[in-house]
Amino acid sequence: MASLKRVQHKSGRVVYRIVICMGYDKKGNKLVKNLTYSVNQSATPKQQEREAKKYAMDMEDKLKYGYDFNSEKMSFEDFSYKWLESVKDNIAYGTYAGYKQVLESRIIPYFKGSKIAHIKTSHIEAFYRTLVDDYSTGTIKRFANVLNLIFKTAKRYSMIENNPCQDAQKPKRKDEDAGLKFFTPKQALMFIKSLGMSYEVTYKGHQRIDDTGKPYCVNEYTESYTVPTQYKVFFTLSLFCGFRRGETLALHWNDIDFKEKKISISKSVGMTENGFDYKEPKTKKSVRKVSIPDDVIPLLKQYHFEYTQTRFSQGTAWQGDFSNGGNLFIQADGKLMGHTTPYQYFTKHLHRYNEWVKNNPDKAKAEGLKELPIIPLHGLRHSCATLLNYLEINIIEISKTLGHSTCSTTMNIYAHSFEEQQEEVATKINEFLRLNA
């Protein structure tokens, strides 16, 4: 985005110094264009500022995309890279990296050699069909979003008459259910119970190599397995507090107020120019304090005790962060937990639990346990929203808990799942009328 500086000469004439970022060279250095614009001298300061901003935006667009648009000559590849550089300064680095990966992995290779003005809706749909066997419906939507943004920009500059993405239909995988994936309130209780269970894990016979380099055989054996406390905490907070994965990973012990029973969300972990690192939360409303359910407090205190023991037992080998009480979620040496680790463990745990249910039908039935759907880790956040709605928490409080920018965002995401629960509302009303008739 262009930067503006108001300058008033001794004569009283007002001009604006404008600096426009033109992208980056091969060494990563920022390329800039400096301009001077003389505003209407009889206008008010606010009017002059608006005039200068409009001029700056127009010049920024012209300079980044070129003064002369020749859509018959400009390739899709060239325009895509111009568009990508133009949005870089206005979006989070993780979003920019995601756009770049999506473009370079499949979009540009597919449309390479095509002129942007020659790409039609049928071509877009043909491209979508090439993605079906390799990507989920959600990922295909991300490809479609990037394409739509590119062609929307091309239309704005009159390079094309119509956006070919606007009416293009996206295919759905036959083996994949559409919509959000989450636990129902009853399934959420089963999941929490599964975290406290003990599982028998059988390892097949295999070969190993000892310290001298000599191979030896390990026979098949069975071990009893329980979920480590830090994973119990991670998944419990995700389910009952609705945190995003990056928000949970970024937590420090000083973010937890045991007295007030609240957790402060002020940062996240995600893709930055330095790799996966701390960054600002997704939106301003994402900075929030969330109440901790009473039943979760003992689990947090137990984990803090185990964490402290581990930290002191490591001594100088501890590589963790000592600031703000240290990271909650860590590797064996105290370093921040890897961003893919909780997802991998979560999926493995669900499969392990479902296998136990299959192999122990009588025990499972006696304890009221059933197989759980294999949902993504982010599904725990969706499960939190669904649970809060089930408990008849108003939409404003649900939105605050989740850190959404507006209540409409919450409704847009969860409208369908909330509607499904209206049947439960009707059941409650029927029961009320029956008991009080």
CATH code for the domain in which residue 408 is found = 1.10.443.10
Dist. CA 401–CA 262, nearest whole Å: 11
The mean pLDDT of 248-264, rounded to a whole number, is 95
108 pLDDT more than 70: yes
In this structure, the answer to whether residues 89 and 51 fall within a common structural domain is no
Tell me whether residue 409 is in a domain.
yes
The mean pLDDT of 24-41, rounded to a whole number, is 80
Residue 150's pLDDT is what? 94
Confidence band for 149, pLDDT divided at 50, 70 and 90:
very high
211 pLDDT more than 60: yes
For the stretch 66-102, pLDDT in tens is 544 455 678 899 999 989 988 888 888 888 888 999 9
In this structure, the answer to whether residues 189 and 44 fall within a common structural domain is no
Average pLDDT, the chain: 86
Tell me whether residue 171 is in a domain.
no
Q: How many whole angstroms from its chain centre is CA 415?
A: 20
Parallel, antiparallel, or unpaired: how do β-strands 262-265 and 288-291 relate?
A: antiparallel
Of residues 286 and 157, which shows the higher confidence score?
Answer: 286
- Residue 133: closest CA among 172, 178, 181, 180: 172
The mean pLDDT of 9-15, rounded to a whole number, is 88
In this structure, the answer to whether residues 239 and 330 fall within a common structural domain is yes
In this structure, the answer to whether residues 308 and 241 fall within a common structural domain is yes
Confidence band for 264, pLDDT divided at 50, 70 and 90:
very high
Q: Which two tokens stand for residue 351?
A: 């499969």
Cβ atoms of 354 and 371 closer than 8 Å:
yes
Residue 281's pLDDT is what? 83
Please state, for a pLDDT cut of 70, what percent of the chain lies above it: 90
- Give the structural domain span for 37: 3-65
Dist. CA 411–CA 395, nearest whole Å: 8
The mean pLDDT of 91-119, rounded to a whole number, is 90
The mean pLDDT of 17-25, rounded to a whole number, is 80
Residue 67's pLDDT is what? 43
Query: How many folded domains does the chain comprise?
Result: 3
Residue 407's pLDDT is what? 85
For the stretch 156-208, pLDDT in tens is 877 888 899 999 998 876 655 556 789 999 999 999 999 999 988 777 888 88
The mean pLDDT of 284-304, rounded to a whole number, is 94
Residue 271's pLDDT is what? 75
In this structure, the answer to whether residues 290 and 325 fall within a common structural domain is yes
In this structure, the answer to whether residues 102 and 246 fall within a common structural domain is no
For the stretch 316-367, pLDDT in tens is 999 988 888 999 999 999 999 998 999 999 999 999 999 999 999 999 999 9
Residue 68's pLDDT is what? 44
14, 38, 65 - which closes a domain = 65
17 pLDDT more than 50: yes
Cβ atoms of 39 and 27 closer than 8 Å:
no
Give every CB contact of residue 397 below 8 A, 6+ residues apart in sequence.
388
Of residues 136 and 397, which shows the higher confidence score?
Answer: 397
The mean pLDDT of 229-234, rounded to a whole number, is 97
65, 88, 119 - which closes a domain = 65
CA end-to-end distance (rounded Å), the chain = 65
In this structure, the answer to whether residues 205 and 342 fall within a common structural domain is yes
